[in-house]
Amino acid sequence: MADWRTDVLGDEFEQLTLELGDDDEGAVFATLVRALPAERPWWDIRARRRPLDDVDVLYVHGWSDYFFQKRLARFWTARGARFFALDLRKYGRSLRDGQTPGYITSLTTYDEDIAAALDAMGRGTEGTGSVRRLVLLGHSTGGLTLSLWASRYPGTADAVILNSPWLEFQVASARPLIAPVAELQARWAPREVAPQVDLGFYTRAQQEVADPDDPVETNPLWRPAQTMAVHAGWFHAILTGHATVAAGLAIDAPVCVLLSARSATPTRWSEDLTRSDSVLVVDDIARAALKLGASVTVERIDGALHDVFLSRHEAREEAYRRLDRWVRGWSAAG
């Protein structure tokens, strides 16, 4: 029997440790967090079926990140869905002493993490062992990871929702030139560390727009103000993922992509960074999104940050309205 225990988020959240074997740094784990919808009294004959009673959601975080968004989970459970979030190996709850945070050399490595999560969700390792619909929900690098996964495993996901997915390198035209160099570095010095270019402005922007009526708390050890060290092997894995997207994916489920309306370059602090995506070039991401599959909706949200659900109040509420509208349409069509 699965050993679910109270999660660090408290309240209705529980976590389950997933054992993934060993690599060159020792034992590897992933962590699955869940929040289940409130049960309705059996005697309340007035209780109506909730629109997402037959839905499982699997969320995957971005780079230098982990799952902490209570409100996002409650958006789904309030509509009847079972919500699950996966802290991938060497991130957040899954990081162990002596491990290199976030380090992998191929995004396909996460197939094992996702398979273990799906199995723990009662869907089998292939994700198809259930009559419940499956929604994949990914942010940033997690959006890239899930997009590639959904394309490789057709017939598994019923919907894919991406929050500012990292589908293209920040200088798209330079990627073909950088890729061969990155491949050589990954081959000969995979743990070589790139210079730190994050000045911490994205974290500051989130703090500037924080809403006391919708508080968010994070663990700075799991989500540092400046991103974790970027290693050559990991960087090559990301560029390979971008090239695969650029060549075209074949996601057979409808896709919704949520993005800020504009980008801002974080070379110095300005208020513009509190109303834009300072991580990705959103116009390039919007173009790349059209190569994910045959049915793609792109939602551009004015004033949104890189994580649209951590934006200032007006943009955050608009992000949830757009998500609700898309999910209601998808669910009704299904």
List pLDDT tens digits, range 2-29.
799 999 999 999 999 999 999 999 999 9
Q: In the chain, pLDDT over 90 holds for what percent of residues? A: 90
Which residues, 6 or more positions from 246, have their beta carbon under 8 angstroms from its beta carbon? 168, 175, 288, 291
Residue 40's pLDDT is what? Answer: 73
pLDDT at position 46, please?
A: 59
Position 125 scores a pLDDT of: 86
Domains of the chain: 7-37+50-333 (3.40.50.1820)
Which residue spans within the chain are E strands per DSSP? 5-6, 14-23, 26-35, 55-60, 82-87, 133-139, 159-163, 255-260, 296-301
pTM of the model: 0.96
Give Cβ neighbours of residue 277 (< 8 Å, ≥ 6 apart).
164, 259, 260, 262, 263, 264, 304, 305, 306
d(CA 288, CA 306): 16
> How far apart (Å, rounded) are the C-alpha atoms in residues 146 and 151?
8
List, as one string, the DSSP characters of 145-166: HHHHHHHHSTTS-SEEEEES--
Burial 218-254 (b: 16+ CB within 10 A, else e): beeebbbbebbbbbbbbbbbbbbbbebbbeebebbbb
- Predicted local confidence at residue 129, as pLDDT: 85
Handedness of CA 268, 272, 274, 279 (dihedral sign): negative
- Whole-angstrom Cα distance, residue 323 to residue 202? 23
Can you list the residues of the chain whose pLDDT is less than 50?
none
| Tokens 């490789």 found at | 152
